[in-house]
Structure 1
Amino acid sequence: MTVVAVVVFVAAYVLIATEWTHKLLAALGGAGILLALGVTDAEHAFYSADTGIDWDVVFLLFGMMVIVGVLRRTGVFEYVAIWAAKRAKGSPLRVMILLTLITAIASAFLDNVTTVLLIAPVTLLVCDRLGINPVPFLIAEVMASNIGGAATLIGDPPNIIIASRSGLTFNDFLIHLSPLIALELVVFTLVLPRVFKGSFAVDPARVDDVLRLNEREAIEDRGLLIKSGIVLLLVFTGFVGHAFFQIAPSVVALLGAGVLVLISKVPTRDYMAGVEWQTLLFFAGLFVMVGALVKTGVIAELAGWVGSVTGGHTLFATMLVLTVSAVLSGVVDNIPYVATMSPVVHDLTQSVADPAQAHALWWALAIGADLGGNATAVGASANVVVIGLALRAGHPISFWEFTRKGLVMTAITILVAAPYLWLRYFAFS
Structure 2
Amino acid sequence: MTEVLVVAVFVAAYVLIATERIHRVAAALAGAAGMVLLGVVDAHVAFYSERTGVDWNVIFLLLGMMIIVSVVKQTGVFDYLAIWAAKRTRGRPFPTMVMLIVITAVASALLDNVTTVLLMAPVTLLICERLALAPVPFLIVEAMASNIGGTATLIGDPPNIIIASRSGLSFNDFLVHLLPVVVVLVVVFIGLCRVLFRSAFTYDADRVAALMALDEREVIRDRRLLVRCGVVLTAVMIGFVAHSALHLEPSLVALLGAGALVALSGLDPPQFLEEVEWATLVFFVGLFIMVGALVEVGVIGRLGSAVTDAVGDRYLLASSVLLWGSAVLSGIVDNIPYVATMAPLVQDLVQAGGNAPPARALWWALALGADLGGNATAVGASANVVIIGIAAKNGHPISFWRFTRYGLVVATVTVAVSWVYLWLRYYALA
Alignment of 1:21-420 (within 5 A): 21-353=22-354, 355-420=356-421
SS at 2:176 equivalent: helix
1:354 offset after TM fit, Å? 6.5
CA distance in 2, matches of 1:202, 1:17: 33
Question: For 1:107-161, what per-residue CA distance to the aligned partner results, in whole angstroms no more than 9, with x for missing partners?
Answer: 0010110000000000000000111110000000110000000000000010011
- State the one-letter code of the partner of 1:30: G
In the aligned structure 2, how far is the partner of 1:192 from the partner of 1:384? 20
Partner deviation per Cα, 1:287-322 (whole Å, 9 max, x = no partner)? 000000000001001111110110321110011100
Distance 1:355 1:39 in 2: 40
Deviation at 1:174, TM superposition (A): 0.5
The amino acid across from 1:91 in the alignment is R
The superposition leaves residues 343-384 of structure 1 with CA deviations (integer Å, 9 ceiling, x where unpaired) of: 111111122247211211000000000000000000000000
**In structure 2, C-alpha distance between the alignment counterparts of 1:4 and 1:231, rounded to whole Å:** 48
Instruction: In structure 2, give the amino acid aligned to 1:55.
Output: W
1:202, CA displacement in angstroms? 2.3
Q: Which runs of 5+ in 1 are unaligned?
A: none
In 2, the alpha carbon distance for the partners of 1:374 and 1:398 equals: 15
* CA separation of 1:38 and 1:117: change in aligned 2, threshold 3 A: same
| CA positional deviation for 1:385 | 0.3
TM-score, normalising length: structure 1: 0.99
CA deviation map 1:235-267 (0-9, x unaligned): 000000000000000000001000110011011
SS of the equivalent of 2:74 reads helix
TM-score (norm 2): 0.99
How far 1:20 moved relative to its partner? 0.4
Corresponding residue SS for 1:99? helix
Aligned equivalents of 1:151 and 1:307: distance in 2?
Answer: 25
**8 Å Cα contact 1:35-1:42 kept in structure 2:** no
* Stretch of structure 1 that moved more, 302-311 or 101-110: 302-311
Write the distance in 2 (CA, Å) between the matches of 1:343 and 1:392.
39
**Matching residue's letter, 2:36:** L
Deviation (angstroms), 1:323:
0.5
Per the alignment, in what secondary structure is the counterpart of residue 392 of structure 2? Answer: helix
Letter in 2 for 1:384: V
Residues 318-345 of structure 1: per-residue CA shift (max 9 Å, x gap): 1110000000000001011101111111
For 2:161 and 2:234, the matched residues in 1 are separated by 22
Q: Does 197-206 or 237-246 show the bigger shift?
A: 197-206
Stretches of structure 2 that go unaligned for 5 or more consecutive residues are none
Letter in 1 for 2:362: L
Provide the identity percentage.
60
Q: Distance in 2 between matches of 1:312 and 1:153?
A: 27
Q: 1:38 to 1:354 in 2, by over 3 A?
A: closer
CA distance in 2, matches of 1:341, 1:427: 26
Conservation of the 8 A alpha-carbon contact between 2:6 and 2:38: no
1:14 aligned to 2:15? Answer: yes
RMSD: 0.8
For residue 74 of structure 1, give the secondary structure of its aligned residue in structure 2.
coil
Instruction: Say which SS state the counterpart of residue 53 (structure 2) adopts.
Output: coil
Which SS does the other structure have where 1:89 is aligned?
Answer: coil
**Cα distance in 2 for residues equivalent to 1:213 and 1:358:** 56
Whole-Å Cα distance in 1 between the matches of residues 66 and 363 of structure 2? 33
Aligned equivalents of 1:278, 1:350: Cα separation in 2: 43
SS in 2 for 1:309: helix
Contact kept, 8 Å, 1:104 with 1:144, in 2: the verdict is yes
Q: Which letter does structure 2 place at the counterpart of 1:409?
A: V
Pick which of 194-203 and 323-332 moved more: 194-203
> For 1:128 and 1:5, how far apart are their aligned partners in 2?
44
Deviation at 1:10, TM superposition (A): 0.4
Taking the aligned partners of 2:357 and 2:80, their CA distance within structure 1 comes to 47
Query: Post-superposition shift, 1:393?
Result: 0.2
* 4+ long deviations beyond 3 Å: none
1:9–1:289 contact (8 Å) kept in structure 2? yes
User: Contact between 1:116 and 1:142, CA under 8 Å: does it hold in 2?
Assistant: yes
| SS of aligned partner of 1:194 | helix
Q: Judge conservation of contact 1:4–1:39 (CA < 8 Å) in 2.
A: no
The 10-residue stretch of structure 1 (33-42 or 385-394) with the greater mean CA deviation from structure 2: 33-42
Count how many residue pairs are aligned between Structure 1 and Structure 2.
429
